[in-house]
Chains A and B, each alone.
Chain A
């Protein structure tokens, strides 16, 4: 099975990187961009169907549950 795990900061957590990149975009004239937040993407392959396993490793290892959340997507093919 192939999965895509996206990890990103929780909504109320400040994102310094996103903030700075947004400012540069505005300086370059892209004022229609109103918000930008930075996250991480993991592509994971497993033997068989293991949504529970993915959830466990996403929570315990791939993300920092104190400040981050994640989503899991099953990929076809």
Chain B
């Protein structure tokens, strides 16, 4: 059964058009934009919070977007078990809104980083990652200045116990370690799931790795999972 995907647009978001394009033109899915003041999401079966600089990242990344009316409805959908994915700034918004644990700090280099990055699939049981093998290495671009995802000791333990880590930064052959972690995130986390595994937040941009012409299609399965 085909799903209708909603791509949420907060003022300042940049990757909404890229994500929409992949879902509609590349994956031939049913998709529409959702303006941040909308409160009726009843026609949608899953939500994507795309990347960008909502509200200019002023105050804190995602810090002002969480107050938009649409977030209340997204929270309800998440609680009901609908798939919700936050990419880059979208991930930051989900964290600020409390749908995912943790917080974000500036990259350890204190600079914005844009490059191709290898990540490893750690949990392949969620709807978003079931298309991959466990331990599979993907090549997907990152582009962020505040990707240093932080979990305190207790939360990290919880997250590990519940198998919530979706992706970790790694080397080309899948080795996880500090030298392969571009921003210093806790436990080299590149993507994380909520307890129920229906909400995913990830820093890398799968919509930028869904067409061969751009250099990699490793990200396509994540967005395809929303379409099928």
Contacts and interface: CB of A to CB of B under 8 A. Distances in A.
Interface of A: 16-17, 20-21, 24, 27-28, 38
A34 to B, nearest CB: 18
A21 to B, nearest CB: 6
Contacts of B58: 16-17, 20-21
A28 B67 contact: yes
B67 A20 contact: no
Secondary structure at the A interface, as helix, strand, loop or mixed, is: helix
B82 interface: no
B48 to A, nearest CB: 23
B159 interface: no
A24 B56 contact: no
B172 to A, nearest CB: 39
Given A20-B64, A28-B67, 4 more contacts: A16-B56, A20-B56, A21-B59, A24-B67
B55 interface: yes
7 smallest A-B Cβ distances: which pairs? A17-B58, A20-B58, A24-B64, A21-B59, A20-B55, A28-B67, A20-B56
A17 B56 CA distance: 8
A21 B56 contact: no
A24 B71 CA distance: 14
B226 to A, nearest CB: 29
B17 to A, nearest CB: 22
A9 to B, nearest CB: 14
19 contacts: A16-B56, A16-B58, A17-B56, A17-B58, A17-B59, A20-B55, A20-B56, A20-B58, A20-B59, A20-B64, A21-B58, A21-B59, A21-B64, A24-B55, A24-B64, A24-B67, A27-B67, A28-B67, A38-B59
Nearest to B64: A24
A38 B56 CA distance: 14
Nearest to A24: B64
